[in-house]
Structures are given as C-alpha cells and as structure tokens.
Amino acid sequence: MGLTGLFLIMFLAVHCFLNSFIFFDKTGELFNVGAHFMATNWLIRAMEVVLMLGLLLHIYQGLRLVFMNKAARPEKYAYHNGQANSTWYSRSMGLLGTLLLIFLIVHLSDFWTTSRFTGIPTVDANGHEDLYAQMKESFSNIYLVILYVLAMVSLAYHLLHGFASAFQTLGWNHNKYTPIIKAFGFWYSILIPLIFAAMPVYIYLGL
Amino acid sequence: MSAFNSNIPEGDLTTKWTKYKSSVALVNPSNKRTLEVIVVGSGLAGASAAATLAEMGYKVKCFCFQDSPRRAHSIAAQGGINAAKNYQNDGDSTYRLFYDTIKGGDYRAREANVYRLAEVSANIIDQCVAQGVPLAREYGGLLDNRSFGGTQVQRTFYAAGQTGQQLLLGAYSALERQVGMGKVDMYTRHEMLEVVKIDGKARGIIARDLISGKLERHFGHAVVLATGGYGNVFYLSTNAMGSNVTAAWKANKQGAFFANPCYTQIHPTCIPVSGDHQSKLTLMSESLRNDGRIWVPKKKDDNRKPTDIPEDERDYYLERRYPAFGNLVPRDVASRAAKERCDAGYGVGLSKKAVYLDFTFNTERYGRIEANKLNIHNPDQATIMRLGRDVVKEKYGNLFDMYKQITGEDPYETPMRIYPAVHYTMGGLWVDYNLMTTVPGLYCAGEANFSDHGANRLGASALMQGLADGYFVLPYTIGAYLSKEISTKAIPTDHPAFAEAEAKVQAELERLINIKGTKSVDYFHKKLGLIMWDKCGMARNEVGLKEAIEEIKALRAEFWSNVRIPGELNEFNPELEKAARVADFMELGELMCMDALHRNESCGGHFREEYQTEEGEALRDDENYAYVAAWENKGNGTFELHKEELKFENIKIAQRSYK
Amino acid sequence: MNITLKVWRQKNQNVKGNLVDYKVSGISPDMSFLEMFDVLNEDLINKGEEPIVFDHDCREGICGMCSMFINGRPHGPKEGITTCQLHMRSFKDGDTIVVEPWRAKAFPVIKDLVVDRTAFDRVIAAGGFISVNTGNAQDANNLPIPKPQADAAFEAAACIGCGACVATCKNASAMLFVSAKVSQLALLPQGQPERYMRVQNMVAQMDAEGFGNCTNTGACEVECPKGISLENIARMNRDYLNAKFIKEEQFK
C-alpha cells in the first residue's frame, strides 16, 4: 500500500509539472510539446504500463484492506467517538479512494483513451496532436470543472493522510527526518491538488 | 502429624546453599518428562517457577484467576528490587544484605533462608537483564541504583516506578515462551479451590473454570502455591481487588501450617482514604522517601496551607526521632511514627489522618546541581526550581501523575498527603528450607509463604524473594522431592480422592449460593475489614483482639445465613467468586487475631500497645517469642500452635535501632 | 451527582446482547468510574437483579485488566489513564454515559463488559521473549546499553496489554501492542539474535488471531493509557520488511 502509494505520489508530481505548462503558454504549444514527448518516448510508454499496474495494485490492496478490516470487527459499537483521536480523512481513505477512482474513470476516458486509442482529431502549429484544444473543449463544461475541483479536494485529503502514512508503513521513520517528511507531505498534499484544480478553473474562466 | 522440621542443611551459613545444590538428588531428563507439576498463581514467583520448571523438562500446568498471567499483582510493585551487587562500591555484600534483611525483619526470620536469598539476589538481576527487562541505566550504559528504607547502601535496581511490571513481564515472557513450546499448559480464569491429597501427599487440585463455572480435576506429582498475600482481609489495601487467601487457606485446612499470620506490613506512603466509597488504596512508592521529607505542623490543628507554614514551624519527625536513617527508616517504623503524630492531633488534610511528604527541599538541591552542570552561576529561585522539577519528574513522573489523577492536587506545587495502608503480609504458609509446606509435595513460594521477611519486610525485597523462590530455589528443591517420585505414574483423576475433593467444593459452593440472604458480599467484606483495621491493624492490644475475635465469629455466622449471591453456579459469576474468598478471609481474620493475641511482644509489623519502650518503640521479647508461630488447622475454627525455634548463630540479636 | 448509564448487557457468548439503561444517584466526584459501577452493582444486588460483570483487578492503572469503552472511547474521555483511574469529576451531573465492551473479532465478549483477550497471550507466546533459560545469564553489567536506547526500550515495555489500541482502532488492529513488544526487544542488544524471527512469528500470529491491519490513523497512540508511540509500529514494519525482503536467512 505504502510503496504503490509513494509511486503514485511521484507520478502526481510529474503529471502536475507537465500540465502546468498550460499556465505559461496561452497557445498551448508548449503543453503539446510535453504531451507529445510523453506520448512518444519509449521509456515513458514503458513507465505508463508500470504506472497502470501500480494503480491497479494500489486499488486492489486498498479494497482488500477495507474488507479485511471490516471483518476484524464484526459487531459495531453503538457509539464510537472517532474524531476524538484521529482525523476523519485518515479513517476515510477507502471512501476518498473510491471517489478518486470514479474521477479517474471520467478523467482517463476524457483524455487518456482519446490520446492513446481513438486519437486526437486536430494538430497544432508544430504538427503535434492538439491535446490542449481538447482540454479547452472539455473544460468548457461547468459540471466537469466542478467534478475536477471536488476530486482534487478528495485527492488533497487522501494525500494529507497518505503521504506520511506511506513512510510509516514502510518503516521509514527517524527522529530527525520524520518531522521534515511530515511537513513536506503536508505542503505537497495541499499544493499539488491546488495546482491541478486550478487548471480546469483557469481554462474555464479563459484567463 | 507430618514432620515439623525446617530441614536446614548442616554446615556453615555461607556454604549451606552451595553444598545443598551440589549434593541434592537429581532427576534425569527422560524422567522429568513424565513428572507433572502444578503451579497455582502466575505472579513473580509462580510465573518464574513455572517457566523454569518447564525449561528443566517437567510437564507444567499453571493456573491464574485473571484473564492473563501478566495481570498478577506483582505488576503493581513500584519501587525496585534489591540485589547485593555492590555496583555502587558502597560496601554492599551478600552478608550485608542478609544482615539488613534479618534486622529489618526484627529478628524473626530464619537465617539460612535469608542468607540464601541474599546469595541468589545477584543472579536475579543477571537473569532479568538477559531477558530484556529494561532496568534503569546511567549515561555510561551501566545499571543505576537507588536506596530504600532500612539500608545505608544503594542496592535497589529499578525501572522508573514500574519495576514490578517490568520484572513480571520478563517472567511472563519466559512463561509464554514455554506455553508456545507446549511445555506449560496455561489455565487462565481458573481458580484453585482445593488441594487433593492421596496417601498424605499433595497430588493435585480442584479448580473452577470461572467462565463456565465447571469444576475441573488436575493431577500433579507436586503442587506449588504461589498465590500471593492476604492483605485484602482488611478490605482496603494496596492489593488488587482479586488478591485472596483461598488457595493458601484450603492448603491450611488440608494440613499445611499457617505461619505468623499476624505479621502485616502497613506501608507508610499511601494516598489517604477519601470516602466510604473507596474500594482500594493506592501506594506511592517508598522510593519517594529518597527525595521527599516527611513532616507535620508543630502546632495542633494547623489549618494553614502547607506552603504557608514556615520552615521552623514544621516537625520533620522522622529526622528528629531517627537521625541516622531519617526518612529512610523501615516501613513499620515510619508507619507507626505517622500514626503516632496523627493520633496526637498533628495530622493534616480534611480527615486529619495524613502527613506531608514534601519534595521542595530536594527539588531545590537537584536544581542547583543542574544549574551547575549548565554553567548557570547565581541562578534565581525560579530557575532552580524549574531545573529541579525536571529531575524529579524524570525520577517519579508517573507517581506524581498518579497522585494528581487520584487527588486532584499537583504534588509539584504542594506536598503530597500520605497515610499508612495495608500493603504486604509477611505471614503465610509455613515452609521448610525446601519451600515445602507440612504437606509432602505441596510447595509454597513468594508472598504466599512466610519464609524470608520475619516480622517486617524491607522495601524492594518482595520482588527479590518472589523471583529468588521461582527462578533459583524452588526448581532445585522440588527436584529433591520429585527424584523419589519417578516411579509414581500419573494418577487418573477419577481416583476417589479427586471425586471426594470435587464433591466437597461443589457442596460448599452450593451452600453459598443457596443462602439467598439480603446482604451483598461487599457488605460483609467491608465490615470484616473495619474490624481488622481497627483491632488488628497498625497497633493491637489484648482487649481489642479479644473483641475482634468475637466480632468476626458473629460476622461469619451472619455471612453464612444472610449473604446474597445473585446468578447461578454454572456461569461466569464474580459475586460467587468473591463470596468464596471472603468466606476464607473471615476464618483467616480470626486466626490473625489469635496469633496477634498470643504473641505478647511487639516486633516489626506486629505492634502490641502493651509492649513498647518508653520512647514508643517496639519492645521484643526474644526470650519467649523468638520462634515462628505455625498454626495447624484442626477444623471448626480451632487451631493448634506449633513453634519453630529461631536460632541466630551468625547475627547477634539486638534491639533494632535506626537512631 | 446523578448519572444515566447505558450499559451493554450480554448473558454469555452464545446470546445477543443489548444496551440497558440504569440510573445511578448519589455519586461523589471523588469516586473512580469503577467505584461508581460498584455502587450500581450493590444497588442491583439489593434489588435482586444480576450485577454487571466487568474486568478489573489492581485499580491503580497497571494490570491492564479494566476495559470499558466509555462514550465512544476506550478508558473514557481522559487521555493517558485506564478506566480504573478515571474519576467521576471528569463528568457532569446529569450526564448520560454509554459503556460498551471492547469490540473485535479477536476479543469475543464473554459476558456483559468482559471480553476474552487471550489472543494477546498467544501473540507473545509466538515470539515476545528472549530465549534465555534460567541460569544462562552473564553478569548484568557486562553489556552496557546506551541510556537513550534503554529508555526507549523501557517506554515500549510500559505497555499493559489492556487492548485499548485494538478497541479504538477502526480496523481493530493490534499493531501497537505487537510493535511495543517487538520494539522493546529489538532495541536491546539481548534481543538481537532472534530479532527477525521474532517479528515474523509475532506478526503471523497477530494475523491468525483475526486482528485488522494498520492504516496509520494514529487513534491507538492517542488512546493508549501508557503513551506507547506509533514509532514502534514503524520500527516493527521496518524489521518485518527487512526480515521478508532483505535478510538472506530463512526465518521460521
């Protein structure tokens, strides 16, 4: 769980970095260069397979945990005051994960399947597939924008617990470094989803 | 009647045990596998004995009434464990530990046993450290020591205020290791209710499965009782709620003599009683007396806040009366001194039954030392107290927190209020040098026996004795008995003796549950406790003891006609368990009073008001009472007294002085 | 004080239980929570009803026997204490208090508020020890142990095995309990020879008992009456992964 989680966390950084190209180039050409590179480089394509496997493994592990842990307490408490000793999101990783999964299905069918399988209809000035144009079109839909923003809120909470938790699970704790990891994890969990959420809003508002 | 012989080996005191060990009969490994030993109790003595016997190859069954062997009340011991290691280079030795223990026990313990205890004390520390018991250490990585009452050397090893817990968990781990290997069968939530004797020898027990309520028969070639003390006869004590005398008492009824029942230790530093609802008393470790100074106001009924009473209006009565030992006098002395001050009207707190234990002086002293270490010259008072407080916190943090939790007062700011409370019982089943009772094959270890502490136990000696018995003494001595039993086949539990014993237990339980009276078990227990505390407590006299005996008789009669036990026999029924225990306490209580009445002297924990010096110190009568009083149960509340003469060949018997 | 209690009553393992309301009056704020139950039980006995069965023994917070789930939290609303050390001054006059037993598949209810915690003993029996027979030991000071390490081992060893960690964990996981013992012994030089075998065996037994898995919510650390730290869980995870994936030896 921790290992796949950390792997996905790393992917988020890369994904976020490349996508943030949209903020720097109105024409979207820079973004398309990045997208083209990602789509054609053989190493990246290989990693993509690993990433998909990692995601599936993460989902499988998560679901397995949820069911095993439910079985460990067959009779529920009449009253369990969970908020007295832990955060709601640390107790709701399964729920947050499920929300993210629903989002991912929408997200991937929007962008990934088109770019990989059905093909992007247009090309930009440099002759690259115009993923940027497709993005603009998708994010003109207010409902989709709202879905994306909400999903990023879920992601933020998922990460707020998941980041430091992954280190704990792997036993990577240290009196000196754990506080740094925790602080870094906190900001990472806020900033990455914030940047992601800014993208559809940015495009929708046509800034 | 079986032999009443202490079986002390001949020879020089210092070589008795070594010689015994090298000449005692052994059992060969293949025979050990067929020999079964029952251990009742899983505290320090029981768990260590069960583990060690299993390591040696015997088949062991271990019983405890709690849900896990780790709950035994040894776990609550706070202060520490003594060992003659002389790590502090302060002149300690086996002989000095032996001497301190005999003297602390007011010359009422058996020399040979105590010397053996002092001898093996060092091995205990080695064994526990090897097991991973995290005893306190100094920065150099070596073990730390502190001093305890009644001694002038630092020989007490400790683990913060949780020494008993750590030692017990060590023994528990060793026991569970044997359980995991299938060499010990552990029976938790089982209570022993009878000893089964066949041809005069102990051959098993009847135990009740506390969950199903069913009685079970268990065979053993030998039976070890390590069932702890009987302080709960006073209802309010520092013992656990479940601590009881039942196993020892059943043994007494089967012919095992009960020795010195009146020797009760009243611990000087406990949190005072706050109201009638109180179900138990909490100890504040004796180690606090290392750094706390005990005082009362010089004026009677001084109602000022303790911090408002100036230094010269305080009476540090222990330092005044006992300049050599000061606040570190033995427990019996400290307890009586507190009672004396309170009875004289100098007590503090709402009840006026408390004295102050004040840490200000030493907090300040530590603060200065720390300031020096930090190179702070001319520190102000606030800095000193802050630094000192940190030191005190590290030493006693958990105890201070516990005190605050219970009383709602902060002991860092205001002195603790303390008062003596029943803590330990030196008396117990009489055992010989081999720890065997007067019933062949029935052994007794730890607090349940009487052997090593005489009339008063020194602090940090109970853990030492429990582990000495369990790890190092009993496993040897029981071999001597079992070596003669190798041809005895395991006796099937359908033997008539088992059936008879089970029927007897069944009948008694049925009788109890069918009384269906009007008063709860606790009602009787509280009444018994009050009688015992008032008349057989810290100070006793002839009139009071005689009254107590009559009162207990009457209470017992009422109990057997009017106790109400809800629920049924064959189910989990804690009220029934309590009732059976209280029934035994009531018989024991009477014997305690008889013993206290017959002993016309004051010694250690037994203080008879008629026998004291002009200064109010205990007045022993060595000519007439230098013996162990061993009581044989003749049935129907009658007892016959047997005397084991105590011979002091290596120590000059003297008036105990801590001045 | 007057208190309304909702207490779990269950005759035995084979029948269903339910919450029953009780009113207790004349409670002193200086009483402990268990003494309040003593008062209630005395009352029930006098009325000819069956008293409530609950586990308790030392009543000074060290034996680990008491185990009540009070208003949704193990050992009640205050932190760092056991039920026996909880005093009524922590409640208000007129409060309603819900009291339930620990709930976990590995801790079946025996009666009322009493559960079976022998699973913990079996986990310890699987490896929570150092294999040293009596008489094997060398002199205690032959092996100096740095104070910080000895102190850390002591802090882990302070666990009283009450099961509050399991009770509060949303997954009924016993990781805090198991890791405390694993850590204590892993921190000490005496524990090294069996270190990696121990962690595997104890974890295997823990799983076999039906405890859940750790998802690092940290609830156990908050509720632990002895302040056992989550660091112990990390240490156990590290040792476990080490034993499984890095060490070349086969441990069984």
* Residues of chain A under the 50 pLDDT cut: none
CB neighbours (10 Å) of residue A3? 15
* Adjacent-strand bridge partners of B37: B60, B222
Are residues B405 and C38, on separate chains, in Cβ contact within 8 Å? no
**B477 vs B112: CA distance, rounded Å:** 14
**B415 vs A31: CA distance, rounded Å:** 73
What is the enclosing helix (H) or strand (E) of C203?
A: helix C195-208
Which pLDDT band holds residue C135 (cuts at 50, 70, 90)? very high
State both tokens at A19: 């996508």
Tens of pLDDT, residues B477-504? 999 999 999 999 999 999 999 999 999 9
Q: Are residues B85 and B155 in contact, defined by beta-carbon separation less than 8 angstroms? A: yes
Are residues B279 and C146, on separate chains, in Cβ contact within 8 Å? no
Are residues B141 and C146, on separate chains, in Cβ contact within 8 Å? yes
Best residue of B74, B131, B210, B214 to probe chain C, by most C CBs closer than 10 Å: B131
State both tokens at A205: 């508002």
Tens of pLDDT, residues B602-645? 999 999 999 999 988 899 999 999 999 999 999 999 999 999 99
Q: In sequence order, what DSSP letters do the residues of B475-487 get, joined into one string?
A: HHHHHHHHTT-TT
**% of chain B exceeding 70 in pLDDT:** 100
Gap between the terminal Cα atoms of chain A? 39
Are residues A85 and C168, on separate chains, in Cβ contact within 8 Å? yes
Q: How far is C135 from chain A (nearest CA, A)?
A: 36
What is the enclosing helix (H) or strand (E) of A149?
A: helix A142-169
**B3 vs A206: CA distance, rounded Å:** 105
Could you tell me which residues come within 8 angstroms of residue B528 by beta carbon, excluding any fewer than 6 positions away?
A: B233, B235, B552, B555, B582, B585, B586, B589
- The residues in C 199-218 lying below 8 A from B, measured between CB atoms, are none
* Adjacent-strand bridge partners of B493: none
Question: In the Cβ-directed half-sphere of A1, how many Cα atoms lie within 13 Å?
Answer: 26
**C28 vs C211: CA distance, rounded Å:** 39
**Confidence (pLDDT) at B594:** 98
* Adjacent-strand bridge partners of C5: C22, C97
Tens of pLDDT, residues C61-101? 999 999 999 999 999 999 999 999 999 999 999 999 999 99
Q: Are residues C182 and C232 in contact, defined by beta-carbon separation less than 8 angstroms? A: yes
pLDDT exceeds cutoff 70 at B104? yes
Which pLDDT band holds residue B258 (cuts at 50, 70, 90)? very high
Catalytic residue among B116, B331, B417, B599: B331
Query: What value does the mean pLDDT of chain C take?
Result: 96
pLDDT exceeds cutoff 50 at B1? no
**B60 vs B63: CA distance, rounded Å:** 10
The answer to whether B186 faces chain C, any CB pair under 8 Å, is yes
Query: What is the average pLDDT across B147-173?
Result: 92
Tens of pLDDT, residues A27-67? 888 999 988 888 889 999 999 999 999 999 999 999 999 99
Choose among C104, C7, C103: nearest CA to C53: C7
CB neighbours (10 Å) of residue B652? 6
**% of chain B exceeding 90 in pLDDT:** 89
The answer to whether C90 faces chain A, any CB pair under 8 Å, is no
Are residues C215 and A165, on separate chains, in Cβ contact within 8 Å? yes
Q: How far is B71 from chain C (nearest CA, A)?
A: 5
Could you tell me which residues come within 8 angstroms of residue B96 by beta carbon, excluding any fewer than 6 positions away?
A: B84, B153
- Across the B:C interface, residue pairs with CB atoms under 8 Å apart total 216
Which pLDDT band holds residue B3 (cuts at 50, 70, 90)? low
Are residues A171 and C238, on separate chains, in Cβ contact within 8 Å? yes
Minimal Cα distance from C192: which residue of B? B132
**Which residues in chain A are closer than 8 Å to C239, comparing Cβ atoms?**
171
Are residues C213 and A69, on separate chains, in Cβ contact within 8 Å? yes
Q: Examine the residue annotation and report whether B331 is marked as an active-site residue of this protein.
A: yes
Q: Are residues B159 and B136 in contact, defined by beta-carbon separation less than 8 angstroms? A: yes
**Confidence (pLDDT) at A119:** 76
Q: Which among C103, C170, C216 is the nearest to A165, CB-wise?
A: C216
What is the enclosing helix (H) or strand (E) of B336?
A: helix B331-343
Query: What value does the mean pLDDT of chain B take?
Result: 95
State both tokens at B400: 């201070």
Could you tell me which residues come within 8 angstroms of residue A137 by beta carbon, excluding any fewer than 6 positions away?
A: none
Are residues B67 and C133, on separate chains, in Cβ contact within 8 Å? no
Q: Are residues C137 and B130 in contact, defined by beta-carbon separation less than 8 angstroms? A: yes
Characterize the bridge pairing of strands B416-425 and B428-429: unpaired
Choose among A135, A171, A59: nearest CA to C186: A171
Tens of pLDDT, residues B181-238? 999 999 999 999 999 999 999 999 999 999 999 999 999 999 999 999 999 999 999 9
Query: What is the average pLDDT across B31-57?
Result: 97
The answer to whether B455 faces chain C, any CB pair under 8 Å, is no
- The residues in B 334-393 lying below 8 A from C, measured between CB atoms, are none
Phi, psi angles (nearest 5°) of residue C9: -115, 130
- Across the A:C interface, residue pairs with CB atoms under 8 Å apart total 111
Query: What is the average pLDDT across B517-530?
Result: 97
The answer to whether B570 faces chain C, any CB pair under 8 Å, is no
Q: Which among A65, A78, A87 is the nearest to C98, CB-wise?
A: A78
* DSSP H helices in B374-452: 381-407
Q: Which among C19, C212, C231 is the nearest to A69, CB-wise?
A: C212
Q: Are residues B322 and B333 in contact, defined by beta-carbon separation less than 8 angstroms? A: yes
Question: What is the tally of helices (H) and strands (E) in chain C?
Answer: 8, 7
Query: What is the average pLDDT across B26-33?
Result: 95
**Confidence (pLDDT) at C251:** 62
Q: Are residues C63 and C73 in contact, defined by beta-carbon separation less than 8 angstroms? A: no
**Confidence (pLDDT) at A40:** 86
State both tokens at B380: 């102000």
Choose among B373, B292, B300: nearest CA to B328: B292
* DSSP H helices in B408-495: 462-467, 474-482
Chains A and B touch (3+ CB pairs under 8 A): no
The answer to whether C215 faces chain A, any CB pair under 8 Å, is yes
State both tokens at C242: 């080490």
**A166 vs A183: CA distance, rounded Å:** 14
Q: Are residues B89 and B96 in contact, defined by beta-carbon separation less than 8 angstroms? A: no
pLDDT exceeds cutoff 60 at C240? yes
Best residue of C9, C37, C129 to probe chain B, by most B CBs closer than 10 Å: C129
Q: Specify whether the backbone of B186 is left (phi greater than 0), alpha (psi in -120 to 50) or beta.
A: beta
Contacts made by residues B23-31, CB under 8 angstroms, sequence distance 24+: B24/B476, B24/B477, B24/B479, B24/B480, B25/B479, B25/B480, B25/B483, B25/B484, B26/B479, B26/B483, B27/B479, B27/B482, B27/B483, B27/B486, B29/B57, B31/B486
**A170 vs C236: CA distance, rounded Å:** 10
B291: helix, strand or coil: coil
**Confidence (pLDDT) at B558:** 98
Are residues C106 and A93, on separate chains, in Cβ contact within 8 Å? no
**C92 vs C73: CA distance, rounded Å:** 17
Rg (CA), chain C: 20
Minimal Cα distance from A74: which residue of C? C105
Q: Tell me the residue length of chain B.
A: 659
Which pLDDT band holds residue C252 (cuts at 50, 70, 90)? low
Q: Are residues B92 and B99 in contact, defined by beta-carbon separation less than 8 angstroms? A: no
Minimal Cα distance from B467: which residue of C? C134
What pTM does this model have? 0.95
**B50 vs B259: CA distance, rounded Å:** 24
DSSP state at residue B608:
B
- Predicted complex ipTM: 0.97
